[in-house]
Amino acid sequence: MTSNSQKIRFFRARIPSFECEPGCHDCCGPVTASTEEMARLPIKSDKEHEAALADLSCPHLGGNGCQVYAERPLICRLFGTTPRLACPNGKRPEVMVDSQIEQQIHRFFVETRHVLV
């Protein structure tokens, strides 16, 4: 049986990357992540979480962008790589995420406990 950590590594390797619009944080709203992904992120205080939620933002968004970019959750990585989560600035990878991989990721989201980042 494949562990959630193995699935996350598998999906990460198959989500294409692309160059974002400098200063844009449209994908940095409140999102959920699996408990495995959350374990990789720095712990934020309740106050930091409440402030981010009040701003419809992410507690890991800093003045210079995502402070956890290398460990960002799958949903953050998926943004802009599929027509379902299109970038409002038209940014995208040269080749979008494979539709079968996207379906597997969405199935993972449904089957795995997720919490608010």
pLDDT attached to residue 33? 96
Give me the domain span that covers residue 74.
4-11+27-116
Q: pLDDT by residue (tens digit) across 1-50?
A: 689 999 999 999 999 999 888 888 888 989 999 999 999 999 999 999 99
The total number of residues written for the chain in this structure: 117
When divided into structural domains, the chain yields a total of 1
Q: pLDDT by residue (tens digit) across 68-98?
A: 999 999 999 999 999 999 999 999 999 999 9
58 to 6, 84, 91, 116: CA distances (angstroms) = 25, 21, 21, 9
pLDDT attached to residue 1? 66
Report H helices in 26-90.
35-38, 46-54, 74-78
Tell me if 74 is assigned to some domain.
yes
Tell me if 17 is assigned to some domain.
no
Claim: this prediction has a pTM higher than 0.85: yes
